[in-house]
A = this chain, B = another copy of it.
Amino acid sequence: MKVVESIEDLRMERKGLAYPVGFVPTMGYLHEGHLSLVHRARVECGSVIVSIYVNPTQFGPWEDLAKYPRDLQRDLRLLEAEGVDLIWTPSDETMYPDGYQTWVEVEKITKVLEGAIREGHFRGVATVVSKLFNATLPEKAYFGQKDAQQAVVIRRMTRDLNFPIEIVVCPTVREPDGLAMSSRNIYLNPEERKAAVILSQGLLKAVEAFKNGEDEAAQLRKAVIETIASESKVNVQYISCADPDTLQEQEGKVNRALISLAAMVGKTRLIDNVILE
- What residues make up the interface of A, taking CB atoms closer than 8 Å to B? 7, 11, 99-109, 126-127, 130-131, 134-135, 137, 156-157, 160-164, 246
Of the candidates B105, B127, B163, the one whose C-beta lies within 8 Å of that of A134 is B163
- How far in angstroms is the closest Cβ of chain B from A236? 28
B162 touches A131 (CB 8 A): yes
Q: Which residue of B is nearest A106, CB measured?
A: B102
* Distance, CA A102 to CA B106, complexed state (A): 4
A104 touches B102 (CB 8 A): yes
Q: Which residues of B contact A135 (CB under 8 A)?
A: 162, 164
Could you write out 10 A-B pairs with CB less than 8 Å apart? A11-B164, A101-B107, A102-B105, A103-B104, A131-B160, A131-B161, A134-B161, A134-B162, A135-B162, A137-B164
- How far in angstroms is the closest Cβ of chain B from A269? 26
* Distance, CA A99 to CA B126, complexed state (A): 17
- How far in angstroms is the closest Cβ of chain B from A260? 20
A102 touches B134 (CB 8 A): no
- How far in angstroms is the closest Cβ of chain B from A178? 34
Given contacts A134-B163, A134-B164, A164-B134, contact A108 B101 (CB under 8 A): yes
**Most B CB within 10 A of own CB, among A106, A130, A131:** A130
Given contacts A7-B162, A161-B130, contact A102 B137 (CB under 8 A): no
Q: Which residues of B contact A108 (CB under 8 A)?
A: 101
Of the candidates B100, B105, B156, B157, the one whose C-beta lies within 8 Å of that of A105 is B105
* Distance, CA A157 to CA B123, complexed state (A): 15
Q: Which residue of B is nearest A130, CB measured?
A: B161
Of the candidates B102, B106, B160, the one whose C-beta lies within 8 Å of that of A156 is B102
A102 touches B126 (CB 8 A): yes
B157 touches A102 (CB 8 A): yes
* Distance, CA A197 to CA B204, complexed state (A): 74
* Distance, CA A126 to CA B103, complexed state (A): 10
Q: Which residue of B is nearest A101, CB measured?
A: B107
* Distance, CA A7 to CA B164, complexed state (A): 10
Q: Which residues of B contact A164 (CB under 8 A)?
A: 11, 134-135, 137
Q: List the 3 closest pairs (A to B, CB-CB), nearest first.
A: A102-B160, A101-B107, A134-B162
